[in-house]
Amino acid sequence: MKDAVKKLLDRRSFLTSAAGMAAATFWSEQDLEAALQNVRTYSRPSQLRITDMRVAMISRGGNQGIPIIRLDTNQGISGYGEVRDGASKTYALILKSRILGENPCNVDKIFRKIKQFGFHARQGGGVSAVEMALWDLAGKAYGVPAYQFLGGKFRDRIRIYADTTPSKDPQEYARRMKERVDRGITFLKMDLGINLIADKPGTITQPLGQTFKDVMQTQHMFTGIEITDKGIELMCEYVAAIREAVGWEIPLAADHFGHIGVNSCIRLGKALEKYNMAWLEDMIPWMYTDLLKKITDSINVPTLTGEDIYLKEAFEVLCREHAVDIIHPDLATAGGLLETKKIGDMAQEYGVPMAMHFAGTPVSFFANVHCAAATENFLVLEHHSIDVPWWDDLVTGVEKPIVQNGFVKVPEGPGLGIELNEEVCKQHLTEGGWFEPTPEWDKERSWDRLWSFSVPEPPQPKKEAVRRLQAC
Give tens-digit pLDDT for 294-310: 999 999 999 999 999 99
Domains of the chain (ranges plus CATH)? 1-32 (no CATH), 157-421 (3.20.20.120)
- Torsion sign, CA atoms 210, 214, 220, 221: negative
Alpha helices in 402-454 (DSSP H): 422-427
CA Rg value for the chain: 27
DSSP labels, 85-103: TT--THHHHTTHHHHTT--
H, E, C per residue of 178-212: HHHHHCCCCCEEEECCHHHCCCCCCCEECCCCCCC
Using an 8 Å Cβ cutoff, are 452 and 171 in contact?
no
Q: What φ, ψ does residue 66 adopt, rounded to 5°?
A: -105, 125
The pLDDT score that the predictor gives to residue 42 is 54
- Torsion sign, CA atoms 294, 316, 284, 302: negative
d(CA 210, CA 260): 14
What do you get for the CA distance between the two ends of the chain, in Å? 72
- C-alpha dihedral, 370 to 374 to 377 to 380, nearest 10°: 20
Pairing of strands 188-191, 252-255: parallel
The pLDDT score that the predictor gives to residue 181 is 97
What global pTM score does this model have? 0.88
d(CA 440, CA 195): 44
The pLDDT score that the predictor gives to residue 452 is 82
The pLDDT score that the predictor gives to residue 29 is 58
Provide the 8-state DSSP code for 247.
-
The pLDDT score that the predictor gives to residue 218 is 95
Classify burial at 454, counting beta carbons within 10 Å of its beta carbon; exposed 0-12, middle 13-18, buried 19 or more: exposed
In the chain, what percentage of residues exceed pLDDT 90?
83
Classify burial at 95, counting beta carbons within 10 Å of its beta carbon; exposed 0-12, middle 13-18, buried 19 or more: buried
The pLDDT score that the predictor gives to residue 447 is 82
The pLDDT score that the predictor gives to residue 460 is 62
Q: What number of CA atoms fall less than 13 Å from residue 53's CA on the CB side?
A: 30
The pLDDT score that the predictor gives to residue 2 is 43
DSSP labels, 282-330: -SS-TT-HHHHHHHHHH-SS-EEE-TT--SHHHHHHHHHTT-SSEE--B
Q: Which amino acid is at 464?
A: E
Query: How many helices (H) does the chain have, and how many strands (E)?
Result: 19, 18
Q: Kindly report, residue by residue over 194-206, the tens digit of the pLDDT.
A: 999 999 999 999 9
* Residues in the chain where the model's pLDDT stays below 70: 1-43, 454-472
Pairing of strands 354-356, 226-227: unpaired
